[in-house]
Structure 1
Amino acid sequence: MLRTAAVRRTPSSLRSTTGPRRTLTGMACRITELVIDAADPERLAAFWSKVLGYVELDREDDGSIMIGPPDTGFGGPQPTLVLSPSDDPRSGKLPLHLDVSPTDREQEAELERLLALGAEPADVGQTGNESWHVLADPEGNEFCLLRARVPRL
């Protein structure tokens, strides 16, 4: 994602210099699924399953394929992905995209793995000095590989 200083800036009403951010309300919801329109749900399900270590959880009569973490499935700490068939899937810059972080290797090694799985480098106007890589999945949906390693869940 092409980030600017304003993208991740916390509004002044929520900033605190002495402690954690305050929340406006208690937790009422959490993201459990992300739905991605796909010309070929099978192909995208295979790609994202390999990227995330997910497995197929369900198939719907409409051709949608749900993938998610193998041990927890729907409702676990990670959201499931639903690859939904569409005759008019969008590609390229979407209003929402995924950011992924490596769990068991450094960013450059993970970049090589993602490229081998079928990801392609994407140009969204980066300068080359970013700490992340912009990629596209097999249908052209952009996502970013961040530098920070996160623990495997």
Structure 2
Amino acid sequence: MACRISELILDCADPERLAAFWSEVLGYVEIGREDDGGIEIGPPGVGFGGLQPTLILSPSSDPRPEKLRLHIDVNATDRDQDAELERLLALGAKPADVGQTGTEDWYVLADPEGNEFCLLRRRLQPL
């Protein structure tokens, strides 16, 4: 038997702001709040344990904006990459420079707190 990713936890200064951002990016909804102020978001109508992992935005007085050891990759499901890039930028994402050459088929972005993530080219089928 194998393990499956059930949750991803992202330390942040403002859980409300990042929960709103990532909910819009992923089409997630709030599914719970932690006693420490953390907010868990996930697919609507599914919650914890579904096919997609939930995301917990965990408050931290020392979120580290330097090179992350883990980042999130996202793929559009209902539009092409350029249209999705425009949507993400309008939500508050910013282009991030991690040394890319300009020939990659993905965009490196940062969420409103500077956490890097990539928008990949290939469109995926919605779940």
Structure 2 counterpart of 1:70: 44
1:149 maps to 123
Aligned equivalents of 2:69 and 2:117: distance in 1?
11
Among 112, 121, 130, which residue is 2:104 paired with?
Answer: 130
Give the alignment's Cα RMSD to 1 decimal: 0.7
After superposition, the Cα gap between the structure-2 partners of 1:111 and 1:92, relative to the gap in structure 1 and judged at 3 Å, is: farther
Distance (whole Å) between structure 1 residues aligned to residue 83 and residue 71 of structure 2: 22
2:75 is matched with 101
Q: Work out which of the two has the higher radius of gyration on C-alpha atoms and give 1 or 2.
A: 1
Give 1:28 deviation, angstroms.
2.2
Q: Distance in 2 between matches of 1:71 and 1:99?
A: 23
After TM superposition, which residue ranges in structure 1, 4 or more long, deviate above 4 angstroms?
none
- 2: CA distance between counterparts of 1:36 and 1:134? 18
Question: Given that residues 92 and 142 in structure 1 are in contact (C-alpha distance below 8 angstroms), is that contact kept between their aligned partners in structure 2?
Answer: no
Q: What residue is the counterpart of 2:86 in the other structure?
A: 112
| Structure 2: unaligned runs, 5 residues or longer | none
Structure number with higher strand proportion = 2
Offset from partner CA, 1:68-118 (integer Å, 9 cap, x none): 000211100000000000000012420000000000000000000000000
TM-score normalised to the size of structure 1? 0.81
Give % identity: 76
Q: What SS does the corresponding residue of 1:116 show, helix, strand or coil?
A: helix
1:50 aligned onto 2:24: yes
Cα distance in 2 between the residues matched to 1:67 and 1:77: 14
Aligned residue pairs total 127
CA distance in 2, matches of 1:56, 1:76: 14
Kindly indicate whether residue 7 of structure 2 is the aligned counterpart of residue 33 of structure 1.
yes
Q: Could you report, residue by residue, the CA deviation over 1:9-47 in whole angstroms, capped at 9, with x for unpaired residues?
A: xxxxxxxxxxxxxxxxxx321000000001000000000
